[in-house]
Structure 1
Amino acid sequence: MRFKQLKNGYRYNSDSMILLDFASKQKPKMEVLDVGCGCGIVGIGLKKKYPNINLDLLDIQECNITLCEENLKLNSINAKIFLCDFKDFDTEKKYDFIVSNPPFYRYGAQKGENTHQNISKFADNLKLEDFIARANSLLKPRGKLCFCYESLAIEEIACLLKKYKIKLTALQFIHTRKDQKARLLMILAQKSSKNFCEILEPFIVYEDNVFSQQMLQVYNEFKVESDDL
């Protein structure tokens, strides 16, 4: 896969690739929505692996929509693109699978001067409850919600999923290094599910200051090249 992305903006990174890997293992079907799609790497990656899905991409920033249009052409992918704030996204369509790397940096965290990065990273641009509530309204019965979030929010995530009657079905902790606390969560939740929550093997990004075998396997499966704009 090949992607254009902004040289001085929010860029896809190892978190994006881990989310793509996690989401692809859920074998999404039919109607799929990538929320806060950025340059489109997660949604386009899923469409490459599962060409039969119908892909929609949504982002609040016009520059990201332009990037997505370019990247869809580069990768010969067809998808619908929506320029919209997710909490205001109004459609009669219902989705089987919603995937997202939403903004999750907390209030009070130090913001930089780069507006594109700030909108992509900070939770005040899409509050967690607004994200889960809108996803719930857009999911079909038995539809799945797949997203990543900071590990410190695990209690809030569990409470909000329960509030909106979406069952937490899989959880994976992401560690920068094996001797460090988890910094990120991969979350899978499903409407009307009776399954217990499965705690997956932890994902370690670095070993001895180089990418771990887990991380290398992800990059080897989803071979990505990028061009800066």
Structure 2
Amino acid sequence: MAKALRFYQLADGYAYNSDSLLLLDFAAQFCKNTPKNILDMGAGCGILGISCAHYFHAQVVAIESQPKVALLAAINAKTAPFHTHNESSTPKGSCQVLCANFLDKATPQQALALLATMHNQAQKNPEENTQENSAQTPRIHLHTPKSKSSPKFDLLIANPPFYRDGALKSTNEFLRQARYESQLPLQAWIHQSKRLLTPRGALVFCFQASEIARVLEALKQESFTCEILRFVYPLPSKRAKIALFYARLDSRAQMHIEPPLFTHNSPKQSDFTQEVARIYAAYRTHSIKVYAQDIVDPILLDHCRETLTIIPHQATAH
């Protein structure tokens, strides 16, 4: 059985759930064979990006706009066991956290420059790399140098906010930013992603199944084609809850709809289907809840002072 990855996350904010693990397993078919450059958009505590770095040996940049949440993601990346692969032939993943608004005009340049820095670091002398990795401190980056030869991302993975404006909004700022589409509009983030992806780059994300027509139209408007689609049902007798999308830029492929994924055999919350039980066993996590008001320890702030900088919100790209 796989060792659980540890994730600090807010007790009084958005907590990851089964959707993230289902999305991670869905993404595995596109990430396992070749090391990838992956962008985790709206990373939260970093569960998707860190898991992609750990299980798929990807180079990951995780973007999170909320400073305290980004700090937890950086701590989670710092303590993830990326450096435990001892075989020299085994590729190693890495994950860096960028605290920024995904829709800001400067964010793509910052993310791509950070990815270039990661690649340059990976190409150093292997012995020097090993020494540095043993004491590596993943940082929260907000200012990164420009790079004319930055690589781009092969894939963007996201569990974006998708509650519509008509829904009753929470008064909790952390929950509001993580749940409601008005904080990260569908069309806007798909448009922005084109600045970050390779010419044949892909989006892997989940969304409400009831919004599929709008999602497909938004993808089409930005020259993405949904190549693979899978619906997730709580029970065979219930309507689909979410849909999992794999969409590629400038693709002419026809859409393939995969068999449905059922999460439960009965209304019992613990009565998981065999497939979901396999997913939970393959991507085990251990959650440690902390309160936002407690992330003020002077020692922690001093430790992060050089790497955590709050930059003003800039004009959005779309």
Superposition TM-score, scaled by structure 1 size? 0.95
Deviates more, 1:109-118 or 1:5-14: 109-118
Matches within 5 A, 1:180-191: 180-191=238-249
Pick the aligned partner of 1:47 from 49, 53, 57: 53
Name the counterpart of 1:62. 67
Q: Contact 2:74/2:96 (CA < 8 Å) preserved in 1?
A: no
1:9-46 per-position Cα deviation (integer Å, ceiling 9, x unaligned): 10010111111111122126431100001111111111
Give the C-alpha shift of residue 8 in structure 1.
1.7
State which of 8, 14, 30 in structure 1 corresponds to 2:12. Answer: 8
CA distance in 1: counterparts of 2:51 and 2:6, whole angstroms: 10
> Structure 1 stretches of 5 or more lacking a match?
none
1:32 aligned partner: 38
Deviation per CA, 1:82-128: give whole Å up to 9, x if none.
11111112317321110001110001101222211111000000110
The aligned amino acid for 1:221 is A
Q: Bigger shift: 53-62 or 205-214?
A: 205-214
Superposed, 1:76-225 pairs within 5 Å as 76-77=81-82, 78-88=94-104, 89-91=107-109, 93=112, 94-208=152-266, 209=268, 210-225=271-286
Q: Give ranges in structure 2 of 5+ residues lacking alignment.
A: 83-93, 113-151, 291-318
RMSD of aligned alpha carbons:
1.4
Whether the aligned pair in 1 keeps the contact of 2:10 and 2:69 (CA below 8 Å) is no
Deviation at 1:194, TM superposition (A): 2.4
Name the amino acid aligned to 1:214: E
Map Cα deviations across residues 176-210 of structure 1 (whole Å, 9 max, x no partner): 22111112110000113222111011111111222
TM-score (norm 2): 0.69
Q: Which is greater in Rg?
A: 2
Structure 1 partner of 2:131: none
CA distance in 1, matches of 2:78, 2:191: 32
Aligned residues: 228
Amino acid at match of 1:20: L
Q: For 1:87, what is the secondary structure of its paired residue? A: coil
Which residue type is aligned with residue 71 of structure 1?
N
Greater per-residue strand proportion: 1
Contact 1:136 1:166 in 2 (8 A): no
Q: Any idea what SS the aligned residue of 1:19 has?
A: helix
* 1:102 and 1:149 in contact (8 A); partners too: yes
Query: Could you say which residue in structure 2 is the equivalent of 1:71?
Result: 76
Give the Cα–Cα distance (whole angstroms) in 1 for the partners of residues 262 and 66 of structure 2: 31
